[in-house]
Each structure stands twice: as structure tokens, then as C-alpha cells.
């Protein structure tokens, strides 16, 4: 399956959604740690650009496959990281049924593969399981405030179902499972057009366009740099914890504050421009990360000003000549 120089002393990981933003960064970390990796992605929202640097790597193999269909992987598998899913509002509103299917059928198929291989299984859940929260910050024992029939419900409920079936496999089949609840994460390899606030504001500022703020800008988000998130996920996969763990940076800011930070960093004529708030858009979002610190010894380390400059530099490369503005010194 892998190059002839490979041997069984390397453990094998399967990463579904392996060509996505988070899946590709997770793959890099696993390869760095000495694992062999099989990436699976149907490229609905993922991109081969995210994994092109792995071409020729004897410890990596890519399968273009939709995990809502039966998953076949030859040979032993030690870990399965289930990251397949549209993850931005633009994507899951555009593909509501595939989003529900990958959360339900795709998770079922990935769990079936883990059961067949005797592999550890980690599912990428989300802070969206808390919905528009009535508890702040959000601890893992908060059950959430989700509108199941609203437009965002296709993503929220898909992830809530994924958590439920993962725990069912843990309890009924004694499968070694992990659940990570991912809060807002940013970094290189995000799609500029995915609708999330970091690429949206950065792209608009680099083009010299108005920054689109939905609502009055008082809603809050907490931004975690991708390397910090991946470190938390890696630690969780190798822990004895089976219940959900929040991974996210508890440093909170309003959307207006975030926009103002972007305008301080990029030399741009852009200004904030206010529009209507989307239906069921969460008013606050901040993780209670105390469990991650206690159980995993994890906490976010990358300062915002450092991570956001690295990310904007990446977007400048993607935009090329379309970027009319540059970072301030």
C-alpha cells in the first residue's frame, strides 16, 4: 500500500476530509510524528492544493472517495480521524443534504471501519453543537440551544448526531473513541470564499473592499490558530478521554473589534460596512477550555497578532495580483 521502504513499525492513520483546511494540517502533524497517513476526501469543499506538497511522500496516500459510501481500506489501521464535512455557513447552506449525510452516514461508515480495524476513532465536532448559547463561556456539559429546523440546523444537528453515534459505538462496541469540539480556527489553507469571518475580512481588506459586518458587530468569537488546534487534537487522540473536549482559544473579541484589528494590520482603504444578521447566527462564542488544560495539558499559545499576519500573508499569495493592499510594517 505504501512505498516498499515502509514497514509496520509505523502506525497507520486515516484522515477523512484529508484535503480540507484542518484535515491537511492534521496530516502534516501526523507525518511529522512518524505515522503513515491515508487521506480520504471527495473534494466537495477540500482541495488538492492543500496536499500537493505531499506528492511523492512514501508515507502518504490519497483516496478520492465519498465517505457516505462504504469505506474500504486495505491493511491495518490504528487511528481514524473523521474530519469530512462542509464546515462553513456558505458550504453547508449550499449543500445541506450532503452535510447531513456526511454527519450521519459518513460517521457511521467511518465508525464501522474503526470497528473492523480495531482503531482509535476521533470525530471532529464543533462549537456549533452549542447553537446560540445561553451559557457563556461554553463548557462541555452544556447541552446547547440549537434550532433543529433552522437553516444552520443541517450542520449543528449533523454534528450532534455524529457525537451521539460515536458515544453509542463506544458504549455498545467498546470502541476507543474521542470527540473534539472545535471552536473558531484560522490559518493558512482556509478558502477565501468559505464565508467565515477571517478569510472574508482578510480578502476584502486585501482587495480594498468594505469589510462586511453582519448585525451590529457586537457578536463575539474566539480565534484559535491552526497549529494550536492540531496540537490539542493530537493530544486528545492519544489520551484516555472519551467524552467531548473543547479545543479553542478563550481569548474573545467582537466582530467589530476583529475587523478593526484587520484594518490596523493591512494598509487598506477598507472600512467596516454593516449588513443584516443571518438567521440563528450565534451572539457569543467562547470555549471553556479548562478541561483541555486539565486532561490534556493543552492551552493555546500562538498570539493573535502572530497567527493573523501569517494567515494574511498566505491569502496574499493566493490572491496574487488581485491583492491591491499589503501588510503594514
Provide the annotated active-site residues.
Answer: 155
Query: Strand, helix or coil at 187?
Result: coil
Q: In this structure, what C-alpha cell is assigned to residue 185?
A: 480556527
Rg (CA), the chain: 19
Residue with cell 497578532: 305
Burial class (CB in 10 A: 0-12, 13-18, 19+), 239: middle
Sheet containing 120-126: give its strands across: 60-64, 36-41, 12-16, 79-82, 120-126, 177-182, 245-247
**Is there a contact between 286 and 138 (Cβ–Cβ < 8 Å)?**
yes
The rounded distance, in Å, linking the Cα atoms of 91 and 196 is 10
Nearest to 137, CA basis, from 225, 248, 232, 299: 248
CA atoms of 41 and 61, how far apart (whole Å):
11
Write the DSSP string, 132-174. Answer: S-SSSSB-TT---B--TTSTTHHHHHHHHHHHHHHHHHHHHH-
1 three-state secondary structure: coil
The residue behind cell 453547508 is 92
The reply to whether omega before 55 is within 30° of 0 (cis) is no
Cβ neighbors of 317 (< 8 A, separation 6 or more) are: none
Is the C-alpha dihedral spanning 257, 259, 249, 312 positive or negative?
Answer: negative
CB 20 within 8 A of CB 62: no
Do residues 145 and 131 touch, judged by C-beta distance below 8 A?
yes
Amino acid at each position: 500500500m505504501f512505498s516498499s521502504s515502509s514497514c509496520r513499525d509505523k502506525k497507520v492513520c486515516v484522515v477523512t476530509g484529508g484535503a480540507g483546511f484542518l484535515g491537511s494540517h492534521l496530516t502534516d502533524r501526523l507525518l511529522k510524528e512518524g505515522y503513515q497517513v491515508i487521506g480520504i476526501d471527495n473534494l466537495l469543499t477540500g482541495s488538492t492544493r492543500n496536499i500537493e506538497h505531499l506528492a511523492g511522500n512514501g508515507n502518504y496516500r490519497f483516496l478520492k472517495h465519498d465517505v457516505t459510501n462504504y469505506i474500504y481500506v486495505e491493511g491495518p489501521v490504528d487511528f481514524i480521524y473523521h474530519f469530512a464535512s462542509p464546515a462553513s455557513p456558505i458550504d453547508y447552506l449550499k449543500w445541506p443534504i450532503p452535510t447531513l449525510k456526511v454527519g450521519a452516514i459518513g460517521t457511521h461508515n467511518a465508525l464501522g471501519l474503526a470497528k473492523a480495524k480495531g482503531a482509535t476513532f476521533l470525530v471532529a465536532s464543533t462549537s456549533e453543537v452549542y447553537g446560540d448559547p445561553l451559557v457563556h463561556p461554553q463548557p462541555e456539559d452544556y447541552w446547547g440551544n440549537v434550532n433543529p429546523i433552522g437553516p444552520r440546523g443541517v450542520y449543528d444537528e449533523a454534528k450532534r448526531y455524529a457525537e451521539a453515534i460515536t458515544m453509542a459505538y463506544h458504549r455498545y462496541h467498546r470502541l476507543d473513541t474521542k470527540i473534539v469540539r472545535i471552536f473558531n480556527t484560522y490559518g493558512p489553507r482556509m478558502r477565501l470564499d468559505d464565508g467565515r469571518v477571517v478569510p472574508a475580512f482578510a480578502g476584502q481588506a486585501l482587495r480594498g473592499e468594505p469589510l462586511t459586518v453582519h448585525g451590529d458587530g457586537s457578536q463575539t468569537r474566539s480565534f484559535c490558530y491552526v497549529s494550536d488546534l492540531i496540537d490539542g487534537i493530537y493530544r486528545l487522540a492519544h489520551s484516555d478521554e472519551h467524552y467531548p473536549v473543547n479545543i479553542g482559544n478563550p481569548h474573545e473579541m467582537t466582530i467589530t473589534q476583529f475587523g478593526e484589528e484587520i484594518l490596523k494590520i493591512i494598509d487598506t482603504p477598507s472600512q467596516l460596512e454593516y449588513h443584516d444578521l443571518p438567521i440563528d447566527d450565534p451572539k457569543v462564542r467562547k470555549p471553556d477550555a479548562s478541561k483541555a488544560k486539565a486532561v490534556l495539558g493543552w492551552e493555546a499559545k500562538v498570539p493573535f497578532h502572530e497567527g493573523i499576519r501569517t494567515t494574511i500573508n498566505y491569502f496574499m499569495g493566493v490572491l496574487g495580483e488581485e491583492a491591491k493592499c499589503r501588510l503594514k510594517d
